Amino acid sequence: MNIHEYQGKNLFRENGVPVPEGYPAFSVEEAIEAAKKIGGKCVVKAQIHAGGRGKAGGVKIANSIEEVRIYANEILGKTLITHQTGPEGKIVQRLLIEEASNIKKEFYAGIVLDRSIGKYVFMVSTEGGVEIEQVAEQYPEKIVKVTLEPWQNLQPYQARRLAFALGLKGNQIKSGIKTFYALWDVFKKYDCSLMEINPLVITKEDDVIALDSKINFDDNA
Ligand code: ADP
Ligand code: MG
């Protein structure tokens, strides 16, 4: 079973993973209401069970309420075709309206249950915002992994290793490590089999926050 980005972000928010303020919207009116609540620059994001929405026109930054109206109108009901939907695409029935972040850098973070080795693998890469499968194929050294035994929790030295792998500095290290622990908590608490945050970003304020969320649950859990 998998869930939408906004549902994943609700789990993140409830468990201490920093995410932008955001609300789901099922109509243009709801999108405008959400944007008013947020106030300021918003992102209008198609909610479908597939990634690659940005490139397919499913993620738009709106500078005004009027632009939220325009983008919500354009994206709701549209069939989005991304590299993950297959040629038939997926119809957008809901949106996430969220606060636009001031992005300094985009990273990738992921946790998987690797049954072939019977361990969890927590990985990060500086090559965020792009297709991680491509990175894995062309530059495998750019994905840094730590493995966790099934009975273990994320260890402090592992969290530091992940932070250093991303080149975090100063306050970013503290913020990054806190976010990694919180992500691990969510993974364990909800019996996830896969969690991907692409991108995990550093903001201009040096906070490390999750801008996307993909979560699959272990059906055997
Ligand atoms: P997908 O992976 O389906 O393309 P994302 O949620 O990763 O969708 O969004 C695509 C891109 O849009 C991100 O890499 C990021 O650059 C930008 N983006 C997404 N959410 C926000 C946000 N809240 N603020 C600013 N930029 C965003
Ligand atoms: Mg993404």
Cβ neighbours around 80 below 10 Å, total: 19
Q: Going by C-beta distance under 8 Å and a sequence separation of 6 or more, which residues neighbour residue 62?
A: 35, 41, 42, 43, 44, 68, 70, 71
pLDDT band at 129 (very low <50, low <70, confident <90, very high): confident
Active site residues: 108, 196
Which tokens in the block code for residue 45? 């994001």
- The number of C-alpha atoms within 13 Å of 159 and in the hemisphere containing its C-beta is 18
pLDDT at 2 (0 to 100): 85
pLDDT at 221 over 90: no
Ligand 1 contact, 203 CB (< 6 A): no
pLDDT band at 220 (very low <50, low <70, confident <90, very high): confident
For the chain, the maximum distance between any two Cα atoms, rounded to a whole number of angstroms, is 52
Q: Give the pLDDT mean for 110-133.
A: 93
In the numeric block, the tokens 């920093």 are attached to 18
Asked whether the beta carbons of 97 and 23 are under 8 A apart, the reply is yes
pLDDT digits (tens, 9 = 90+) for 13-29: 999 999 999 999 999 99
pLDDT at 130 over 80: no
pLDDT band at 133 (very low <50, low <70, confident <90, very high): confident
pTM attached to this predicted model: 0.95
Q: Give the pLDDT mean for 191-196.
A: 96
Atom of ligand 1 nearest to the CA of 128: 14
Ligand 1 contact, 130 CB (< 6 A): no
Q: Give the pLDDT mean for 25-40.
A: 97
- Which 8-state DSSP code applies to residue 117? T
The CA distance from 67 to 10, in Å, is 25
Q: Going by C-beta distance under 8 Å and a sequence separation of 6 or more, which residues neighbour residue 150?
A: 118, 119, 120
Measured in Å, residue 34 CA sits from the centre of ligand 2 at 21
Q: Which ligand is nearest to the CA of 82?
A: 1
Ligand 1 contact, 211 CB (< 6 A): yes
Q: Three-state SS for 221? A: coil
- The number of C-alpha atoms within 13 Å of 96 and in the hemisphere containing its C-beta is 24
Measured in Å, residue 200 CA sits from the centre of ligand 1 at 10
pLDDT at 76 (0 to 100): 98
Ligand 1 contact, 52 CB (< 6 A): yes
pLDDT at 158 over 80: yes
Q: Torsion-angle region of residue 128: left (phi > 0), alpha (psi -120 to 50) or beta?
A: beta
Higher pLDDT pick, 1 / 65:
65
Query: Can the peptide bond before residue 24 be classed as cis, meaning omega within 30 degrees of 0?
Result: no
The CA distance from 148 to 174, in Å, is 21
**In this predicted structure, which of 19-23, 125-129, 188-192 has the lowest mean pLDDT?**
125-129
pLDDT band at 213 (very low <50, low <70, confident <90, very high): very high
- At 45, give phi and psi (nearest 5°): -125, 125
The CA distance from 200 to 212, in Å, is 7
